[in-house]
Structures are given as structure tokens and as C-alpha cells.
Amino acid sequence: MSRLTVFADNAPSTPIFASEDPTAIAAELKAIGVRFERWKSPVALSSADDADKVLAAYKPYLDTLMGESGAGSADVIKLTPDHPQAGALREKFLSEHIHTEDEIRFFVHGGGNFVMHVNGRVYDAHCTQGDLISVPAGTKHWFDAGDAPSFTCLRVFTDTSGWVAHYTGDAISARFPVTRPVAA
């Protein structure tokens, strides 16, 4: 289940907001410019399906996303616990950074946490299958799917160079271990 937990950025052990209600999550995130939606999937895919099959199955979603965002390209990122670069990729996404374009993800399978750092608060969004999240350009954030990552995501890009991060050098993510529902 999707969940949003909000903290003051100097108090990682004291949530000031927590919800698993998609409408409440979307409203809270909208206030900081982050788009969050639950999309019903018209297709049932196996987690073993390759990127081409995922892209083909989700073409209507991609067309919508790319039409709304002006994005020019899309791909699929898939991580499994046995991925040889799972640890290295986790480190790459885990340090606070910004992008010069919106970071738009749709979770086809599995889940992970997008954590935004805005106006002295930390917004930890645990996203799951069927969640769309769009983090605006320039918003400080990081991503973590834990030490056994399991997710398949659609990504759309406006920047032709793909995923490019500008790290802030702030070690804040180390002070905010991501929160996940117990059953996840």
C-alpha cells in the first residue's frame, strides 16, 4: 500500500503527518508541487516480462505521460534483489540530488520510496504498483528501494541525456531511513 510520511527535516523520528489514503497523499504532495496519482492498470504483466513488452503494454499510459509532460523519450528501469549492480544503483539514487527536468515514474511492479526535501520538511512517499509520481525539476530528493530492491518503473524524459543527477552534497538521506508499511 502506498504511504506518505512527513517529518521536519531536523526530527527524523517524529512524523508530523502519515497517511495511506491516496487522496490525502496526493493533496499533501500537491502542496509542494509533486504530482501523485493512482492509475488502474489495463494489463496484467508478469514481473519477468522484458522492457519491450512493458513499453508496448503501457503505450497508452506513456502517450498520456509524454503528451502532458512534453517528454520525448521513455524507458523501463527494473531492479531485482539479485541484480549485479543493485548496491551500486542504490547508492546512486540515495544521495540527495536535483534534476533539471521533472522526474516522472510509474510503478508497473514492486515499490520504492521517493523522498522529497522541501521547505524544511522531508516527504517520504512509499510508492507501489499503480502509482504515478512526478517530482518537479529543482526539487531536492532521493530514492531508495532498500537493500533488496524489487520494482519495474516506466520513466519518461524530456532531456535527451536521460537520468542526470546534480548532487547537493547534503547527507540528509542517511538521517532519514525510509519508512515502509510492515507488510510491504
Q: Which of 28, 96, 103, 144 is close enough to bind Fe ion by CB under 5 A?
A: 103
Q: Amino acid identity, residue 149?
A: P
# residues contacting Fe ion (CB under 5 A): 1
Stretch that binds Fe ion, among 47-55, 62-70, 97-105, 175-183 (CB under 5 A): 97-105
**Subset of residues 33 to 92 that bind Fe ion, contact rule: CB under 5 A:** none
Q: For residues 152 and 160, give the distance between their C-alpha atoms in angstroms, rounded to a whole number.
A: 21
144 burial type by CB count under 10 A (0-12 exposed, 13-18 middle, 19+ buried): buried
| Smaller CB separation from Fe ion, 2 or 139 | 139
Cell numbers linked to 61: 499510459
Candidate segments 32-40, 59-67, 82-90, 98-106, binder of Fe ion by CB under 5 A: 98-106
Count CA atoms closer than 13 A to 95's CA, side-chain side. Answer: 11
For Fe ion, the nearest residue by Cβ is: 103
Q: Which residue's CB is nearer to Fe ion, number 14 or number 160?
A: 160
Residue among 103 and 124 whose Cβ is closer to Fe ion: 103
Give yes or no for a contact between 157 and 118, defined as CB atoms under 8 angstroms apart. no
Q: Facing residues of 75 across strands? A: 155
- C-alpha count within 13 angstroms, C-beta hemisphere, residue 89: 18
Considering beta carbons, is residue 28 or 103 the nearer one to Fe ion?
103
144 is an interface residue for Fe ion by CB under 5 A: no
Catalog residues that contact Fe ion under the rule CB under 5 A: 103
